[in-house]
Structure 1
């Protein structure tokens, strides 16, 4: 196989002016042989293509609209559940704080009444 010829998979071999070709040659690679200790590796480079979407590499091409809508609905429901739990937690926290404050006020009032009873001149 020479420069620019088609390989067995229909891909073109790398050109001798290619930087990768030059680096491989410098490391002891011989043209037409595979990479690896036993020269069993690939003969042609991996084919490339321009990726125009914002999905990750290896992601499914497209999802069906129904699946997308189901996913969206599930996420919205989950978000709503989380918000309602958060609100309930906030409300119960406020109630607990109010009860604690009320207990403290009762204790202070008890102390004042106790001191008034025994030391009316000081209070």
Structure 2
């Protein structure tokens, strides 16, 4: 690793706060002497992961894994999308009922305004 240059904004801020070059950042100057190394993460796994996710093993043995028809096993993606649509419809219905209640309430107490 290399140390940060004196033109770096972080370096300048540390100097203003009383830090001396070549010393650690801790109370007794026991902290890191070099900046933390960064790297670009291009996969969708967690920050600590180093290897790409292994691909699932496909078992082509007919005896142990009988063929399934597409109609027999619903797609999880389709099921999730359907559940999302149902939730949205239920939310819209709930909002409509609340609006109807609000309108009925105002009509009962302030009929001239509605």
Alignment TM-score, normalising by the size of structure 1: 0.43
From the two aligned structures, give the one with the greater helix fraction.
1
Greater C-alpha Rg: 1
Alignment TM-score, normalising by the size of structure 2: 0.46
